[in-house]
Amino acid sequence: MPGRYTEAKTALVQEPTDRARRERGLPPGPVWEK
């Protein structure tokens, strides 16, 4: 089970990663898998 730090960091990194993937025509994907 992820800790608070991991959850917060994942949320912070997920948005720019999804945006970069969208710009390249790729589907969104998780930056961290549980």
One-letter amino acid identity for 4?
A: R
Question: What average pLDDT score do residues 2-15 get?
Answer: 89
CA distance 28 to 9: 17
pLDDT the model gives residue 34: 66
CA distance 34 to 24: 25
Q: pLDDT category, 11, cuts 50, 70, 90?
A: confident
pTM recorded for the entire structure: 0.68
Of 2 and 13, the structure prediction assigns the larger pLDDT to 13
Enumerate the H helices of the chain as residue ranges.
4-23
pLDDT the model gives residue 30: 92
Is the distance from CB of 21 to CB of 28 less than 8 angstroms?
A: yes
